Amino acid sequence: MQKMIAPSLLSADFLNLGKDVEMVNSSEADWFHCDVMDGVFVPNISFGIPVIQAIKKQATKPLDVHLMIVNPEHYFEAFAKAGADIITFHYEACTHIHRAVQQIKSLGVKAGVVLNPHTPVSVLEDILADLDVVLLMSVNPGFGGQQFIERTYEKIKKLRKMIIEQGATALIEVDGGVNTKNASALFEAGADVLVAGNAVFKSENPVETIKLLKMN
């Protein structure tokens, strides 16, 4: 199992985005987590294609684009062209998951499905083998800085069991309320990638916090 950290740029300083991208470049972080919100699927609006394009110009690590939007399949190509290396979309926002996953892969991008806190991991049983990533929401999507939902540990363990049983290769990513106190328990439960927004960007020393999250 891997121990990867994906700082969420939702908590970055948008007036100085280039500075925060450089910080992540210079840190031990593995991916840039980019939260795209449409104000329909989630009650908030963040940023979209032009901002991802700008980040891509400076980023030296993969862009992990988390789509919190309705009709995500209408935008896969645009986000792939903008520089996404991984695209994840919500199970709750898409009817034809299998087709959507194939669409993303045909663009040469890694594909992942995201589950809201209320959605059981069992819904992925027949698609798991096709996925590069499963993103488990450990808060209700829409905002940074929310409290971690403790029930997520059980979901990680169940999903890890499913992955092992099927011999699947999907990475388990966890998003929301991750910090230096719960990171080690999350990796221990079976997570491969931890997203961290506030914990990284609101800390006094983000580079050091990323290191701590990873070593924990």
Q: How far is the CB of 64 from Zn ion (least distance, A)?
A: 8
Task: Report what 196 binds from Zn ion, ligand DX5, none; CB cut-off 5-8 Å by kind.
Answer: ligand DX5
Q: Which of 31, 42, 52, 66 binds Zn ion (CB under 5 A)?
A: 66
90 lies in the binding site for Zn ion (CB under 5 A): no
State how far the Cα of 67 lies from the Cα of 49, in Å rounded to an integer.
11
CB nearer ligand DX5, residue 48 or residue 144: 144
Q: How far is the CB of 118 from ligand DX5 (least distance, A)?
A: 14
Q: For residues 122-161, which are near Zn ion according to CB under 5 A?
A: none
CB nearer ligand DX5, residue 102 or residue 205: 205
Q: Which of 20, 30, 35, 38 binds Zn ion (CB under 5 A)?
A: 35
Task: Report what 47 binds from ligand DX5, Zn ion, none; CB cut-off 5-8 Å by kind.
Answer: none
Q: Which residues are catalytic?
A: 35, 175
CB nearer Zn ion, residue 51 or residue 166: 51
Cα distances from 33 to residues 107, 123, 173, 186, 209, in angstroms, run 19, 24, 11, 18, 16
Q: How far is the CB of 53 from ligand DX5 (least distance, A)?
A: 20
- 29: CB partners within 8 A, 6+ apart: 5, 6, 7, 61, 210
**Interhelix angle for 49-58 vs 17-26, to 10°?**
50
Task: Mark the segment that binds Zn ion (CB under 5 A) among 46-54, 64-72, 75-83, 87-95.
Answer: 64-72
State how far the Cα of 207 lies from the Cα of 75, in Å rounded to an integer.
32
The count of other CB atoms within 10 Å of the CB of residue 150 is: 10
User: Which residues bind to ligand DX5, rule: CB under 6 A?
Assistant: 8, 10-11, 33, 35, 66, 139, 141-146, 175-178, 195-199
**Interhelix angle for 206-215 vs 17-26, to 10°?**
40
Residue 33: name the closest of 93, 96, 108, 114 by CA. 114
175 lies in the binding site for Zn ion (CB under 5 A): yes
CB hemisphere CA count around 60 (13 angstroms): 9
CB nearer ligand DX5, residue 15 or residue 167: 15
Residue whose CB is nearest to Zn ion in the complex, by number:
66
Q: Are 64 and 86 in contact (CB under 8 A)?
A: yes
